[in-house]
Structure 1
Amino acid sequence: MSNKEHNKGFETINPATEKTIAQYEYMTENRALKEVENCHKAFLKWKLTTLEERATLIKAIGKALEKNKDAYAELMTNEMGKLLKQSYQEIELCIGVCKYTASIGVKELADEHRDLSDGGKGIIHYAPIGVIYGIQPWNFPLYQAIRYSIVNLMAGNGVLLKHATNVTGSALMLHKVFEEAGLPKDLFKVLIIEHDVSDKIIENDFVRGVTLTGSSAAGKHVAKKSAEVLKKTVLELGSNDAYIVMDDADIDLAAKICAQGRLYNNGETCVAAKRFIVVESVYEAFKTKFVGIMEAIVAADPMKDDSDLGPIARKDLRQELHDKVQESVKKGATILCGGKIPDGTGFYYPSTVLENITPDQPAYSEELFGPVASLIKAKDNKDAMRIANDSKFGLGGGIFSKDEDKAIELAKNHFDTGMIHINSFGLAHPNMPFGGVKDSGYGREHGGFGIKEFVNVKAITL
């Protein structure tokens, strides 16, 4: 029997306790396609609402998130293992996204009027295009879904969400929050589906755009499937972000911020600091302080306030991370701390630092999705920038230097990534663009940019 006719089940597992949280069934293909059609019907009404009405609804979603934040934070921590305090931070970021989108949406999407060279008049209108399909990962269960859905609802589109299976509960809770805020029925739909059905959703005529956050391999697959049916995509993919410690850096600050940047969200962040490229003249001083911080990290129950690090989200992902560490060691890398899978319950992995990194190692060229830092020595500042750019990825990165003007110039003209932090680390800001280049994808979200990714920019002349 095909997936059109029967369901298969799966369960979500708490990575800290290894206990089952809940069991779910995949939708059949027929049901999933019916949900797409229902979303399209809801869109046909929603697209006729005013920008002001949409902004009011987006504000209400932010308030509904605030009301449900305790239950939501606990669920996210149980499903994927992030520290409870960081689950709360994620919710606050999402509330901020709602507030910002509601505040700028009316202005960003308002008609523009232009005088034409022939004496006529022109109107530029930002029209919603239809149903937008989002395929999202588990590492930020709420934020990944909010990031694309809120701007597209503001733009007047319908929204579909295929979330990672291990955070299915978080996806369904978002549906509940949207309903509680007053979003029209069927305008946002959660699709609990397998990959073969997902490809059918991309092909569906009601779907007009596709956005994915995930691996480069997943991005290539989705881009190809979407291109075959001439649908626009926005892709936010993986990275191995480089943080450069220059010869004039504040070493204490750099070591502290770099450790935070590597360990936030258990190190499972596409924009996490991953490669630490340190100029030779300050290398030993940085290494001593950085390793000291990383060694002191306590991996424990993410629900407890005194835990510094939670578990990896799934057992297979922990093994994949460890395999990359071992492969790097086989090819010459040295473990300065961590690097061993601990005994006991939970998918924990210790805070780990590797050095003697060479280009043939996974620690240099691949994304290590977990609390593993790659420490790389550079001859000088110029060599550090060369190594930073020696990557197929280009999502984020950082520069540590006491000369901010010099750092800004390097960020503008030499660092080949989409986002650069100077003497700091950050995940996302609602009013700043988010996205990358090269194998890290294309398109932008946040900052007023994402709100126009999936609109029809109509030119009306008279």
Structure 2
Amino acid sequence: MPIATVNPASGETLKTYEAMGDEEIERRLRLAEATFRTYRTSAFAERARLMHRAADLLDEDQQDIGRIMTTEMGKPVKQARAEAAKCAKSMRWYADHAEGLLADEEPDAADVKDSGASRALVRYRPLGPVLAVMPWNFPLWQVIRFAAPALMAGNVGLLKHASNVPQTALYLEDLFHRAGFPEGAFQTLLIGSGAVEEILRDERVKAATLTGSEPAGRAVASVAGDMVKKTVLELGGSDPYVVMPSADIDRAARIAVTARVQNNGQSCIAAKRFIVHTDVFDAFAERFVAGMKALTVGDPLAEETEVGPLASEQGRSDLEELVDDAVESGATVLCGGERPDGDGWYYPPTVLADITREMRIHREETFGPVATLYRVADLDETVLVANDTPFGLSSNVWTRDEAEVDRFVRDLEAGGVFVNGMTASHPAFPFGGVKRSGYGRELSGHGIREFCNITTVWHGA
């Protein structure tokens, strides 16, 4: 795949870039290793000062970087600006909290005495250069939620971004450089996916994090496992959106639309499978379909646009295949379902009902504005259908019944349960999944400690 900016709204190639050669990659690896030796000893206060400066610069750049993201991958420009603002907020959060999150921990005094020590503590130390393999769908946020905690912990970052967002990738390196971080603290590697394995096998690279597809996750995890290197993986999702009889149906349906089509439906944590109790199924379906039909689809640079094009022609083709397979197998199209005429990689907001387990769309992730509706008879069937997926990233449940909430929290196989609201990430809360959605956690204290050497310090009596 070429490293290029191709406007999804028109299919026009705007900029192309040459992949870095072996000499440049080696130079950057040497620089990362050398920078880490000194950066790891910097004070938290100094790292926080630099991170706050980067956040301020990002706020100043919000309009420009928003347009770049929209031009590169097609998200509505309002959402692009909101993504930049969220990144700046999270950078400040880590700047303000990292020192406390990584403070030395003192074990219970009785345990210290029992071990024969005069004193003991647990200290968090940075690992070194961390390779981040990142996707195009949230081209700023996916990187910042790795970079902010990693840099605040004293690590340095090497970014291999998706090949269709090179301008955003280069912007990120420039952002940290302008903020005053040492040269080599954060570097972008303009490389294709074929170059990742050799870099990950390099002894100077200590760990890796990947957000992306399941095949990409398997490939990185396999190499990292062979090299015995720590990895964090955030892969696909097919999140359930459960609606029970006690729910506020109007609100649940309204938010369901946003939960499905955020980022043009190209989000791992977007709600994708809408599992609705039979007592409220018809009322919910009517409101939900009406909301999907009312969305404004168009030029992503237009302020009024709510749904733009998919990021790639292949992505649209993959989505069409899932929809066509479902329809051929008996699914009912309640709205959308057909590719529009004209330029760009657009696909209409679509709702499918009468889904069966034999359809591909039941097992595979739909990366675009396509929702599937399931009718369920009771709580047990709801849990069964919600868990009937190879993924387990997040989940949404709508109910006012506390006993049902307890059941969902206990039994849903997911990294998050969002009650009466849609899934969203926040720097204070851990983010990640189970099953084929990956392992490890990003964000919060859990995320910043993922790439730390958790060190026991023991002093004899």
Could you state the TM-score of these two structures normalised by the residue count of structure 2? 0.96
Q: What is the distance in 2 between the residues matched to 1:308 and 1:159? A: 34
Number of equivalent positions: 454
**Aligned residue for 1:291?**
289
Pair 1:425–1:123, CA change in 2 (3 A) = same
**Aligned residue for 2:416?**
419
Choose which of 56, 61, 80 in structure 2 pairs with 1:63.
56
Q: What is the distance in 1 between the residues matched to 2:419 and 2:214? A: 26
Q: What is the distance in 2 between the residues matched to 1:285 and 1:306? A: 28
**How far did residue 298 of structure 1 move?**
2.0
Whether the aligned pair in 1 keeps the contact of 2:4 and 2:165 (CA below 8 Å) is no
For 1:173, what is the secondary structure of its paired residue?
helix
Q: What is the distance in 1 between the residues matched to 2:101 and 2:385? A: 39
Map 1:338-377 onto structure 2 (within 5 A). Answer: 338-377=336-375
Q: What is the distance in 2 between the residues matched to 1:147 and 1:109? A: 17
- 1:451 equivalent to 2:448? Answer yes
**Aligned residue for 1:39?**
32
**Aligned residue for 1:3?**
none
Q: What is the distance in 2 between the residues matched to 1:271 and 1:142? A: 16
Report the residue type matching 1:194 in the other structure: G
For 1:448, what is the secondary structure of its paired residue?
helix
Q: What is the distance in 2 between the residues matched to 1:83 and 1:141? A: 13
**Aligned residue for 1:5?**
none
**Aligned residue for 1:94?**
87
Pair 1:251–1:445, CA change in 2 (3 A) = same
Q: What is the distance in 2 between the residues matched to 1:280 and 1:271? A: 25
- 1:105 equivalent to 2:98? Answer yes
Report the residue type matching 2:345 in the other structure: F
Choose which of 70, 76, 80 in structure 1 pairs with 2:69.
76
Whether the aligned pair in 1 keeps the contact of 2:415 and 2:433 (CA below 8 Å) is yes
**Aligned residue for 2:383?**
385
Whether the aligned pair in 2 keeps the contact of 1:244 and 1:385 (CA below 8 Å) is no
- 1:336 equivalent to 2:334? Answer yes
**How far did residue 182 of structure 1 move?**
0.6
Map 1:295-334 onto structure 2 (within 5 A). Answer: 295-334=293-332
Which deviations, in whole Å up to 9, do the C-alpha atoms of 1:330-358 show, x marking residues without a partner? 12211111011111111110000001101
Which deviations, in whole Å up to 9, do the C-alpha atoms of 1:275-302 show, x marking residues without a partner? 0001111111111111111112221011
Q: What is the distance in 2 between the residues matched to 1:390 and 1:453? A: 29
- 1:239 equivalent to 2:237? Answer yes
Which is worse superposed, 103-112 or 135-144? 103-112
- 1:171 equivalent to 2:203? Answer no
For 2:165, what is the secondary structure of its paired residue?
helix
Whether the aligned pair in 2 keeps the contact of 1:29 and 1:197 (CA below 8 Å) is no
**Runs of 4+ with >3 A deviation:** none
Q: What is the distance in 2 between the residues matched to 1:206 and 1:241? A: 37
Whether the aligned pair in 1 keeps the contact of 2:394 and 2:423 (CA below 8 Å) is no
- Aligned residues: CA RMSD: 1.3
**Aligned residue for 1:54?**
47
- 1:128 equivalent to 2:126? Answer yes
**Aligned residue for 1:280?**
278
**Aligned residue for 2:407?**
410
**How far did residue 119 of structure 1 move?**
4.7
Q: What is the distance in 2 between the residues matched to 1:184 and 1:362? A: 49
**How far did residue 443 of structure 1 move?**
0.6
- 1:142 equivalent to 2:140? Answer yes
Report the residue type matching 2:456 in the other structure: A
Q: What is the distance in 1 between the residues matched to 2:87 and 2:432? A: 17
Q: What is the distance in 1 between the residues matched to 2:117 and 2:232? A: 37
Whether the aligned pair in 1 keeps the contact of 2:399 and 2:405 (CA below 8 Å) is no
Report the residue type matching 2:287 in the other structure: K
Q: What is the distance in 1 between the residues matched to 2:180 and 2:406? A: 47
**How far did residue 79 of structure 1 move?**
0.6
Could you state the TM-score of these two structures normalised by the residue count of structure 1? 0.96
Whether the aligned pair in 2 keeps the contact of 1:40 and 1:187 (CA below 8 Å) is no
For 2:392, what is the secondary structure of its paired residue?
coil
**Aligned residue for 1:25?**
18
Report the residue type matching 2:422 in the other structure: F
Can you give the 5+ residue segments of structure 2 that lack an aligned partner in the other structure? none
Which is worse superposed, 386-395 or 328-337? 328-337
**How far did residue 407 of structure 1 move?**
4.5
**How far did residue 196 of structure 1 move?**
2.2
Can you give the 5+ residue segments of structure 1 that lack an aligned partner in the other structure? 1-7
**How far did residue 361 of structure 1 move?**
1.1
